[in-house]
Amino acid sequence: MIALYSVEEAKKSILRRIPLQQEAYSPILLSRTETLFGAGVTPPEAVQIILRTVAEEGDLALRRWSSLLDNFNEDKLIITAGEMDAAWNSLPWEVQEAMRNSSQRIRTFHQNQPVTNWLTNSMGGELGQRFTPLARVGVYVPGGTAPLPSSLLMSVVPAQVAGTKNFVVCTPPPVHPTILAAAHICGLNSIIQIGGAQAIAAMAFGTKSVPRVDKIVGAGNLFVTLAKQQLYGIVGIDGLAGPTETMVIADGSANPVWLAADLLAQAEHDVQASAILLTPDRILAQEVQIQVQKQLSNLSRKEIIASSLHNRGGIVLTESIEEAAALANEYAAEHLCLSVQDPYSLLDRINNAGGFFVGEHSFEVLGDYAAGPSHIMPTSGTARFASPLNVLDFVKISSIIALDPETARQLSPIAACLAEREQLTAHAAAAQARMEESK
């Protein structure tokens, strides 16, 4: 059963944001961490150990951590293009066709994103920006309790549109054939079967088997997120992904069968996933409760779903749709679904969401696989300032400054004045030298 909450109850529980640094670790996680790394070692400290050893020992550390953490003892780290081809050929035709269609929609969507070099001569000489693709991108593809080939497509295809040519893709062993097939359809040459913090470390520092990358993208578990957090500045990072989350705003016009299905789909990810419905309609809320219970019994991951809904999910009864919109804006969900009669008027009231799913036919599962935008979106309330993965994540911008002599002459006194005020006399002297030359 999915619980009903008042707004005040929800603010103290399922709507309450806890920063990553303050997130409480479960006793089971702490116990396992201490078993593997030593008494009193916390998850962030365990990640520090992994990062340090990979930086110092390279492939030797990768194999040791793969054996200890993933029970993977093969010497072979790299899966070749031939093996990816074989995996592709082993798939049923309908799966191949679904993957082709998905990858093409992702590519078409991102090709529409404007990313253009520009110059202006309206300010004296030429000023502008140049967009340069990142030379090598690292992609982490989660393995965990379910293989996610869609995450590979959602990461690699936008980068290819941006112009990136070289990829290092890491995923936990054993690698599922559909992930290999996704790599094949993207034209990749290899996949490295390493997971967890050790994979992030390998891509950040480089080893004999794993080339160093310019930026790492892709979600992962807690240890992956902690590794990205600790390596920020050494390598580019797309963001720190918390548990996935969906928030739905619905009114009396919404279909309770569909709403229940969408909440169950979100809760299926893992026990930390959040599936939250906001509605002012008590009858709808009760119908959704009934449907959740009815549909849950037929699902293969019903234990995970039930735990997720119990710990992180719920239905919040609001006074109005307007109050629901205000709560959604404050919560800043990864996915915000607007299952209301007039979704566009509601859309205008909300600024904070990783993705807006407008109307009941634009349900979140389509965004996960085939709509077009990358499903790698900001979580944990970071949609207040962060964006979904997109072409701009795979380019860097350089400023172009090519001033003409007259403009330089006019600007030099300004620069000299400000430099003197900042007590940077060498800066002022450099500007004054140009001023003397122009006399």
Tens digit of each residue's pLDDT, the chain (439 residues): 799 999 999 999 999 987 766 666 778 888 889 999 999 999 999 999 999 999 999 999 999 999 999 999 988 899 999 999 999 999 999 999 999 999 999 999 999 999 999 999 999 999 999 999 999 999 999 986 778 899 999 999 999 999 999 999 999 999 999 999 999 999 999 999 999 999 999 999 999 999 999 999 998 888 999 999 999 999 999 999 888 999 999 999 999 999 999 999 999 998 889 999 999 999 999 999 999 999 999 999 999 999 999 999 999 999 999 999 999 999 999 999 999 999 999 999 999 999 999 999 999 999 999 999 999 999 999 999 999 999 999 999 999 999 999 999 999 999 999 999 999 999 999 999 888 765 5
Q: Comparing C-alpha atoms, which of 330, 336, 337, 338 is closest to residue 381?
A: 330
Residues 206, 135, single domain; the answer is yes
Verify that 218 and 345 share a domain, yes or no. Answer: no
- For residues 259 and 145, membership in a common domain is answered with no
In a domain, 184, yes or no: yes
> Phi then psi for 317, rounded to 5 degrees?
-90, 115
Distance CA 365, CA 423 (A): 58
Say whether both 222 and 162 belong to one domain. yes
Do 236 and 329 fall within a single domain? no
List the domain range (segments joined by +) for residue 279.
Answer: 4-13+243-372
* Pair (261, 365) in one structural domain: yes
In a domain, 174, yes or no: yes
Residues that are catalytic: 334-335
Q: Do both 151 and 101 map to the same domain?
A: yes
Q: What is the CATH number of the domain that holds 9?
A: 3.40.50.1980
Same domain, 91 and 185: yes
Domain count, the chain: 3
List of residues 6+ apart from 277 with CB closer than 8 A:
2, 247, 248, 250, 259, 263, 285, 288, 314, 315, 316
Euclidean distance between CA atoms 42 and 133, whole angstroms: 38
- What six digits make up the tokens of 361? 């036919």
Asked if residue 318 and residue 248 are part of one domain, the reply reads yes
Q: Specify the amino acid at residue 389.
A: L
Signed CA dihedral, 378, 382, 384, 389: sign only = negative
Do 194 and 184 fall into the same domain?
A: yes
Q: Does 24 reside within a domain?
A: no
Integer angstrom CA distances of residue 268 from 197, 302, 337, 351: 24, 8, 17, 27
Host H or E run for residue 436? helix 425-437
**Do 324 and 417 fall within a single domain?**
no
